[in-house]
């Protein structure tokens, strides 16, 4: 079933048989948020991909990072003639060596980018003209604990409610400090649900049956000649 915040909180209390006097709404909201983040970090999913547009300005090699960015997937530039370029990611040490005298003077078509700090990413060389940027990045996941998703649900709570519930129960039993056997049971259930989630998200969703063929399970079948051997 799909989860809203209210019925997920109810299920956590029912499964653990612990009431709201211990598992208050505020406690459960933090437990749920931590579970969402755990799942988000464990598997690279399409639900977190986001695209933003911006501009490189002549003479300015720094670009502000979007507030909800976790990491950059790729950067595409388009000039005024409609030509497209993809930048290659490098470390800041490479940028410093490659372009050791950065300044505000326009130099050339940018070739590389790097994560500069928590506020900016940087390109090299310094842009020689204005370029449109298409930035593909991994964004902060939606959370069921606030706003519209609390009643409408999220991609995770609507489509993978079992995974979210098991992750929450693992966190809850850890918060309650026992019993150990229940913690181990739900940890195993979470691991199994996470594995099937991973198969779908980074396996089936990124395959094309026409180009890649159907997914087939390997069968351990004995060779016919082996049946006569003891």
Q: Is 60 exceeded by the pLDDT of residue 104? A: no
Statement: residue 129 has pLDDT above 70? yes
* Long-range CB pairs of 182-189, under 8 A, 24+ apart, other chains included: none
28-82: per-residue pLDDT in tens? 999 999 999 999 999 888 888 899 999 998 888 899 999 999 999 999 999 888 8
The model's pTM is 0.78
Tell me the per-residue pLDDT of 171-208, one tens digit each, with 9 for 90 and over: 999 999 988 999 999 999 999 999 999 888 877 766 66
């Amino acid at each position: 079933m799909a989860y809203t915040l209210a019925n997920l909180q109810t299920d956590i209390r029912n499964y653990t048989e612990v009431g709201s006097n211990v598992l208050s709404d505020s406690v459960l909201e933090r437990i749920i948020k931590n579970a969402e983040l755990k799942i988000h970090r464990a598997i690279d999913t399409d639900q977190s991909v986001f695209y933003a547009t911006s501009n490189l300005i002549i003479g300015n090699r720094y670009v502000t990072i979007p507030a909800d960015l976790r990491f950059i997937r790729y950067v595409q530039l388009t000039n005024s003639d409609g030509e497209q370029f993809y930048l290659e990611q490098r470390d800041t040490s490479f940028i410093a060596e490659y372009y050791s005298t950065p300044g505000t003077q326009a130099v050339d078509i940018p070739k590389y980018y790097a994560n500069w700090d928590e506020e900016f990413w940087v390109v090299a060389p310094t842009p020689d003209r204005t370029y449109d940027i298409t930035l593909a990045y991994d964004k902060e996941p939606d959370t069921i604990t606030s706003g519209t998703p609390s009643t409408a649900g999220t991609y995770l709570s609507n489509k993978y409610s079992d995974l979210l519930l098991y992750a929450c129960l693992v966190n809850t039993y850890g918060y309650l400090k026992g019993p150990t056997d229940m913690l181990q049971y739900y940890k195993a259930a979470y691991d199994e649900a996470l594995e099937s989630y991973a198969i779908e998200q980074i396996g089936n969703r990124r395959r094309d049956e026409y180009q890649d063929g159907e997914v087939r399970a390997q069968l351990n079948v004995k060779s016919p000649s082996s049946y006569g051997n003891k």
